[in-house]
Structures are given as C-alpha cells and as structure tokens.
Amino acid sequence: MTSSGELPINGNGDVVLVRQEVRAAALEAGLSLVDQTKIVTAASELARNALVYAGGGRVRIEIVRNGVRAGLRLTFSDDGPGIPDIEQALVDGWTTGNGLGLGLSGSRRLVDEFDLRSAPGEGTLITVTKWAR
Amino acid sequence: MDRVPVLKLGDILIVSIQIDLQDQSVLALQEDLADKVVQTGARGVIIDITAVEIIDSFIGRMLSTIASITRLLDAETVVVGMRPAVAITLVELGLSLGGVRTALNLEKGVALLNHLDGARLAVAPR
Ligand SMILES: Nc1ncnc2c1ncn2[C@@H]1O[C@H](COP(=O)(O)OP(=O)(O)OP(=O)(O)O)[C@@H](O)[C@H]1O
Ligand SMILES: [Mg+2]
C-alpha cells in the first residue's frame, strides 16, 4: 500500500467527488483509460447505493501493489440496514428500489476482485480492486 | 445544483453536457427538456456527451427516459459523442440504452435527425 485516503458519502455532491478522487487515483495507479473508466463507473454505483440504501457511508481509496503490479482498491462501508440475501442482490435486474438492478452485478463485472460482506442490521462492506495490466 | 443549459438551433434542441453530472442535475435536465420540447415544438433533441467521462446506471437510465419522453412529445433524441471507453464500460455494466439513438458526432446527429424527419414527412406531410 503506498497511499490511501477516506471520503465521506453523505450527499449527491459526494458521489461526484468520489468519482473525481477515484479517477485521480486510478490514473496514479497506472490504469489504462478503459480501466479507469470501469472503476470510476463501479465507484459511482457503489457510492450511490451507500447513499440511497444506507443513508450514507464512506469509501477508502488505496493504491495497492502485488509484486510489480499496481492496482486500485476501493472499500465502501456503511452502517445501513445491510443486505439480507447477497446472492440475490448480485443478480442482474434485482432491485428493491426503482433502479435497474445493475449497480452491484455490473460493478462486479467491471473490476478484477469483488468482495461483498453484509448482514441485516450490520451494514455493508464492499471491496473492489482493479489491477493495472 | 448545476443546471445543464438547453440551446435551440432551428427546430433542434442541443444539450451539451460539460459538467460532472450530479443526480439532481440529471433529473432537472429531464424536466427542462420536456418543457422546452413542448414550448418550441422542436422535432429533435441532441445530447452531446463528448465531455462525459463516465455513464453509470443512473445517467444511462436518464438518457433512455429522455428519449422516451421526447418521443411521446413528437421529438427524436440522438445522443452524440460517446467516448469509446464509455461505450465499452456501458456494455460490461449491462446497460443497452434501449431506444436511444446515437451518432458519432454533432454533425452526424443533425444529419440523422434530418433523415428521420424526411422519412416522417414522406409518410405524413405537415
Ligand atoms: N449499501 C447497501 N445497503 C443495503 N442494501 C443495498 C446496498 N447496496 C445495494 N443494496 C440492495 O441491493 C439491491 C441491488 O443493488 P443494485 O445497485 O444492483 O441495484 P439498484 O441500486 O436497485 O439499481 P441500479 O443500481 O441499477 O440503479 C438494491 O436494490 C438494494 O436492495
Ligand atoms: Mg444501485
């Protein structure tokens, strides 16, 4: 780990800020333009989910290393209601709101590593990583 | 909240998105466009996303919704200037932007609208 920072997600403006900070970090990690675009899009989905379903949360942005490879890791956490059925939440089109149900499943496709931990009443923790090629 | 300006050029409305879109700005744009289409009787809307760095599910859904709304109001929407990285990401995210017409740039967007209008005139002169 070479650098890290944490950002609050408490309003719509914060979702925009998260996208901008993730873009800057992705550039610093050496991700290609397409990979930058993918992880910024995933970050936008996960930040909005934290805001909409948990009333807010935070994201830690870290540049990580695996041998010679650099990558970008984002850890979203919130203290919201949690997700009762994680498998179901990851199905394309599943939504309890009025979205398209693509945020979680789509984000998983856009990154290299995706880890979701959640339980009812215990909030949600999602870690995603994208490695430079 | 920043509002995206809507410009009128002949009977086409042009929206050029130059800011990092916040959800409220997206919703406001939807309403502004619907109002303007009716006010001006525009036959087409061009949304220029040349400067847009990402489209997530919210913004993508907004583009589909705007296309549906303007179609009901007798105006076609064409989205122009999508970056290649954005297109690749959208497909992987799982968004097809159903019902949204696209063109590579503003010029081709205008040509597409003229073509569509020509086809419409041929069927039902007005
Ligand atoms: N941080 C969270 N806390 C609690 N529930 C969540 C959280 N994130 C997602 N969920 C649940 O998982 C479901 C699926 O989320 P996902 O982002 O895939 O779709 P969506 O937000 O409903 O629609 P979209 O993101 O396509 O606009 C949500 O409807 C919600 O019930
Ligand atoms: Mg979502």
Distance CA A7, CA A50 (A): 12
pLDDT at A84 > cutoff 50: yes
The whole-number average pLDDT for the span B72-92 is 97
Cα-based angle B35, B90, A96 (whole degrees, multiple of 5): 75
The answer to whether residue A6 neighbours chain B at the CB level (below 8 Å) is: no
pLDDT digits (tens, 9 = 90+) for A8-50: 999 999 999 999 999 999 999 999 999 999 999 999 999 999 9
- Average pLDDT for chain B: 92
CATH number at residue A38: 3.30.565.10
pLDDT band for position A4 (cuts 50, 70, 90): low
Question: Does residue B1 sit within a domain?
Answer: no
Closest ligand 1 atom to residue A45 Cα is 25
- How many domains are contained in chain B? 1
Are the C-beta atoms of residues B4 and B13 closer than 8 Å to each other?
no
Full domain range(s) for residue A38:
3-131
- In terms of residue numbers, what domain contains B83? 6-123
ipTM above 0.90, yes or no: yes
List the CATH number of the domain containing B56: 3.30.750.24
| pTM of the predicted model as reported, rounded to 2 decimal places | 0.94
B59, B53 Cβ separation under 8 angstroms: no
In chain A, which residues have their Cβ closer than 8 Å to the Cβ of B22? Answer: 12-13, 15-16
Q: Residue B26: closest CA among chain A residues belongs to which residue?
A: A12
